[in-house]
Structures are given as structure tokens and as C-alpha cells.
Amino acid sequence: MSAPILPVSGATLPSAIRPAEPTASGGAFQDVLSSTIQKMESIGQNASTSVERFLSGEGEELHTTIMATQQAELSFDLFLQARNKVVSAYQEIMRMQM
């Protein structure tokens, strides 16, 4: 029997993309994944809205628009790297001999 995997201290995700606490149901991974995807979509939508408001001259500041697009880009990059790690771990498990 192996020891449980503990979280790394000091390594926290930004609150904008931090997944919700998993529920006690059997689909905890699915719940976390769905929540994270919804947050990613929300961040992307906020960036799009900010760009549209800036381009239409609705009083959106340039620095606010740039910050929103950078946040969306960095959040997506972080999500993509996490997905790559999950896929890599899954592939490694599938290569194991039973």
C-alpha cells in the first residue's frame, strides 16, 4: 500500500482558476475539471469583454484590457500544462505491466 499524495506546500493556484473543493461523490475529478473549465471560460469571456469595451471607446483603460488578456493567456497556459501532465500520467499508467 502506498502513502497518499500530499499537496506541495506554498504551491497555490491563483484564485481565479483554483478548482472548487471536490465533493464526496464518485465524480470528484469530473467536478473539479468541470469547475476549472468553467472558470477558464469565464476568464476568457472577461478578457473578450474588456477588449470589446476598449475598442468601442466605452471608457475601458488600456492597462485594464492588457491585464485581462494576460490573465486569460496565463490561465490558459497553466491549464494546458496541467492537462498535459494528466495525459502524461494516464499514458504512463497504461504502459504499466499488470
pLDDT of residue 71: 95
Which DSSP state fits 58?
A: S
pLDDT of residue 92: 92
Question: Is the four-CA dihedral 36, 41, 42, 48 of positive or negative sign?
Answer: positive
Which H/E stretch holds residue 32? helix 28-56
pLDDT of residue 29: 82
Confidence of residue 5 (pLDDT cuts 50, 70, 90): low
- Read off the pTM: 0.64
What three-state secondary structure class fits 7?
coil
Orientation of helix 62-95 relative to helix 28-56, angle to 10°? 150
pLDDT of residue 52: 94
Residues 39-96: pLDDT tens digits?
999 999 999 999 999 999 988 899 999 999 999 999 999 999 999 999 999 999 999 8
pLDDT of residue 16: 53
Residue ranges per structural domain of the chain = 31-95
Distances (CA, A) of 31 to 2, 41, 72: 25, 15, 21
Which DSSP state fits 51?
A: H
Q: Tell me the average pLDDT across 15-40.
A: 73
